[in-house]
Amino acid sequence: MVEELLTAVVATGAAGVVYLTAAARVVKQYERGVVFRLGRLRGQERQPGFTVIVPFVDRLHKVNLQIVTMPVPAQEGITRDNVTVRVDAVVYFKVVDAAAALVNVEDYRFAVSQMAQTSLRSIIGKSDLDDLLSNREMLNQGLELMIDSPAVGWGVQIDRVEIKDVSLPDTMKRSMARQAEADRERRARVINADAELQASRKLAEAAQQMADTPSALQLRLLQTIVAVAAEKNSTLVLPFPVELLRFLERAAQPPTERERALGEPAPPDDRTGDVNGEAEEPGGRVPEAGPPVPATDRPVPDKDHPILDFGRLAPDTGAGNDSGPRPRPRTDV
């Protein structure tokens, strides 16, 4: 009798342990449990922690509520301006209603993936190439709205959609490179022209300042010599005197009134002469010519070049004859 009772107790305990083992479930913090009893949705979602179901009657499905990162395969399409591109993106979404994600859609991950690919191809066809390359924020928002509209009924919320890369054909890349190069060259020319304009204005102001202060040109020349001397090269610098430049500048200027007055010849005499240069007396009579003056070979003395008369320097002998020897004339005078 006692043995039968102990056997029954042991059997009942073993059955309880088996029942608890089959009925006990643990739901993690990032999960939610959905119970189906005999194929029908049972009550509310099971919260994280320990929960119990009816073995062989209830079936518990756990749904992950974490954000899922799903890459969208690259899609080829033609933009609105007839350019063939290849675009890939990434979708971030999460489940907000576990029961709807299990009941309303067969596989919410596959459904979101297909919807993302379809929406991406639609966005490519509605956009220009410039929008795909530079205005991606607006395209991301439009793509997010297109995917999120049907996903609301699936218990899925689209958190974010990003276009990762836009692949272009090689010919289009070369064309865009030439366009960018031409634009850079245009901007460089405009900047150089603006710099030349500013430099010319500054040089004009500097020239005006140097014209008002002539010594500034000499200082600028010395500064240039110092700058060239700092370079270790074989350049030979020959400074050109500024005074010579001023002299040449004055020589090129027209003569003043005083210089013209000093450079005019003397006025002619009132008396008129004949062809031989003889002056006429008043009344038209030519004066009689005197005896001709004998020509002499002796030079005319000048105060700057006196003529030495060696005869006068000879000593007086008193005889007056030329028979005796005569002393040599002194030449040290």
Helix %, strand %, coil % of the chain (to 5): 45, 20, 35
Which of residues 91 and 3 earns the better pLDDT score? Answer: 91
**Crossing angle for the helix pair 108-126 and 136-151, to the nearest 10 degrees:** 140
pLDDT digits (tens, 9 = 90+) for 94-153: 999 999 999 999 899 999 999 999 999 999 988 888 888 888 888 899 899 999 888 888
- pLDDT confidence of residue 280: 46
Q: Which residue has the higher pLDDT, 309 or 59?
A: 59
CA geometry: angle at 238 spanning 234 and 241, to 5°?
160
**pLDDT value, residue 39:** 84
Interatomic CA distance for residues 122 and 127, integer angstroms: 9
Neighbours of 73 (CB within 10 A): 10
Sequence length of the chain is: 333
pLDDT value of residue 237:
59
The arithmetic mean of pLDDT across residues 68-84, rounded, is 90
pLDDT of residue 192: 94
Global pTM reads 0.54
* Per-residue model confidence (pLDDT) at position 216: 79
For 237-262, write each residue's pLDDT tens digit.
Answer: 566 666 667 767 777 777 666 666 66
CA distance 45 to 167: 45
pLDDT of residue 56: 83
